[in-house]
Amino acid sequence: MFACCRFFLFWIVLLPFSGLVYAQTPPLPARKAETLDVLEKRIESEKDRKSALEQTLKDTDLTLKQTKTDLVKLARSIQENESALAHLNQKIAALEDEKALLSDKIEKDYAAMADMILALTRLGRLPPEAVLARPGAPLETARGAMLLEDSLPALQDRAAGFSADLTRLDVLETDLKDARTRETETHDSLAAKEKRMQTLLRTRQDLYARTQTDLTHKKQAIERLSREAQNLKEFIARLEAESREREKTARVVIPADGGSRLPVPGIVAVGYGQADSIGAKSMGIHIKTAPGALVTAPMGGVVRFAGMFKNYGQMVILEHRDTYHSLIAGLDEISVAVGESVSSGEPLGKMPASSSPRGSPALYYELRRQGHPVDPSQKFSELKK
């Protein structure tokens, strides 16, 4: 009986302590607590790093946009200088031709007047007795004298013209000197701007590379398509298919056209639909331009191809909005990369530095919509003139 009471009292005393034991959570080991603390610090550090990278990328994008804006302005200025230089060279050539013709005319007029003056001088020095004593008839001598006397007004007119020609020659030489001075100044300005442009192009390339991680993959894919494509139409179709495939995972934002202008200043030697050098119907236009001329984007777009393609030589293909593509061929240097976004007027490359045996370098430009060539005049007002 007493034993049962003791057992009962034992459990009554122990019961509160047993509840206390089961209610408390055992403390974490010291090492585990330290591990969690380190992990939390690493997470915070990664967040800070991510924010810093995002800010760096944002700053890079802003710098890239400003660089592209500066490039467009500089490219426009360079093309204006190139046009001015071409006009000055034409003016100098025309002045030199006129000067050569005028100098030749002055020389001939001078010789003719010298002969007439010499004949009149000799006649004036002959005394009447000598004239009568000559073996020939005096009548013939008198007739010669009368002819020379009648030629005096013509000689005076020629002398007046000679004087005017000399004055014009002085003006031509002054104009030539001024034109050559302006040519030198324009050439020096152009050289300085091209040097600045090369710096901006390197900056653009570096900034763009920072924002892109798959440039090598893109380049290899485009090179593969270029090798496999049998013709330009097939190549464009494959580029469009590749573009659609990329857009499934990452939407490519194509910049607005931003106004349209031809890639280079120059003369349209072969228009759309006209016969080209081999007699075939031209699907684009051939523009004769100056050696080493700067080539710019005709409209805003994304570079889909940059490199050699078949007999087109160095070529750039741009994708624009509304299913338009621009094909720009005949370049000597290319300064853009596949996947790069370009604004209207932004530099793409340069023409060959020297003329070909057929004359000035010619750029081939072709505008396509939905893969088919279209008349560029629907986009470029200067072709409608």
The 3-state secondary structure of 169-199 reads HHHHHHHHHHHHHHHHHHHHHHHHHHHHHHH
CA dihedral sign, ordered 208, 213, 216, 221? negative
Using CB atoms within 10 A of its CB, is residue 131 exposed (0-12), middle (13-18) or buried (19+)?
Answer: middle
User: What are the b/e assignments for 47-67, b being 16+ CB within 10 Å?
Assistant: eeeeeeeeeeeeeeeeebeeb
Q: Which among 181, 210, 239 is the end of a domain?
A: 210
- Helices and strands of the chain, counted as H and E runs: 7, 11
Give the pLDDT confidence score for residue 349 in this predicted structure: 94
Using CB atoms within 10 A of its CB, is residue 325 exposed (0-12), middle (13-18) or buried (19+)?
Answer: buried
DSSP 203: H
197 and 105 in a common domain: yes
Q: Cα-flanking dihedrals φ and ψ of residue 359, to 5°?
A: 120, -150
Is there a domain that residue 33 lies in?
Answer: no
Is there a domain that residue 182 lies in?
Answer: yes
Of 337, 360, 361, 363, nearest in space to 348 by CA = 337
Contacts of residue 342, defined as CB under 8 A and 6 or more positions apart, other chains included, come to 68, 255, 297, 300, 301, 302, 303, 318, 336, 348
**The token pair that represents 157 in the structure block:** 């007119």
Give the pLDDT confidence score for residue 273 in this predicted structure: 92
179 and 306 in a common domain: no
Is there a domain that residue 48 lies in?
Answer: no
CB 225 within 8 A of CB 89: no
Give the pLDDT confidence score for residue 110 in this predicted structure: 78
Give the pLDDT confidence score for residue 220 in this predicted structure: 61
Angle at 381 between CA 379 and CA 385, to 5 degrees: 140
CATH number at residue 228: 2.70.70.10
DSSP 271: -
Hey, what's the torsion of the CAs at 28, 29, 31, 36, to 10 degrees?
A: -10
**The token pair that represents 161 in the structure block:** 């013209």
Give the pLDDT confidence score for residue 50 in this predicted structure: 60
CB 191 within 8 A of CB 103: no
Domain count across the chain: 2
336 and 239 in a common domain: yes
Give the pLDDT confidence score for residue 293 in this predicted structure: 92
CB 292 within 8 A of CB 242: no
Q: Work out the angle between the directed axes of helices 138-150 and 30-125 (0-180°, nearest 10).
A: 150
Locate tokens 């007002």: which residue?
381
CB 350 within 8 A of CB 331: yes
220 and 205 in a common domain: no
Give the pLDDT confidence score for residue 21 in this predicted structure: 44
CATH number at residue 86: 1.10.287
Q: CA 190, CA 200: separation in Å to the nearest integer?
A: 15
Per-residue tens of pLDDT for the chain, all 385 residues: 444 444 444 444 444 444 444 444 455 455 544 555 655 566 566 566 666 666 766 777 788 888 888 888 888 888 888 888 888 888 889 889 888 888 888 888 777 777 777 766 665 555 555 555 555 555 555 555 555 566 667 767 777 777 888 888 888 888 888 988 888 888 888 888 888 888 888 888 777 776 665 555 556 666 666 665 556 666 667 666 766 665 554 445 667 666 789 999 999 999 999 988 888 899 999 999 989 999 999 999 999 989 988 788 899 999 999 889 999 999 999 999 888 889 999 999 999 987 666 677 899 999 999 889 999 998 988 887 6
Of 110, 145, 108, 114, nearest in space to 130 by CA = 145
Give the pLDDT confidence score for residue 152 in this predicted structure: 66
Is there a domain that residue 35 lies in?
Answer: no
Give the pLDDT confidence score for residue 18 in this predicted structure: 46
CA dihedral sign, ordered 203, 206, 212, 214? positive
225 and 201 in a common domain: no
Q: Which among 210, 231, 255 is the end of a domain?
A: 210
Is there a domain that residue 114 lies in?
Answer: yes
Give the pLDDT confidence score for residue 348 in this predicted structure: 95
Is there a domain that residue 318 lies in?
Answer: yes
Q: How many CB atoms lie within 10 A of CB 42?
A: 10
Q: Cα-flanking dihedrals φ and ψ of residue 345, to 5°?
A: 90, 0
Q: Cα-flanking dihedrals φ and ψ of residue 45, to 5°?
A: -65, -40
Give the pLDDT confidence score for residue 67 in this predicted structure: 84
97 and 145 in a common domain: yes
Q: Which among 210, 239, 271 is the end of a domain?
A: 210
Provide the residue range defining the domain that includes 176: 77-210
Is there a domain that residue 286 lies in?
Answer: yes
CB 382 within 8 A of CB 262: yes
Of 323, 329, 316, nearest in space to 365 by CA = 329
Reported pTM: 0.63
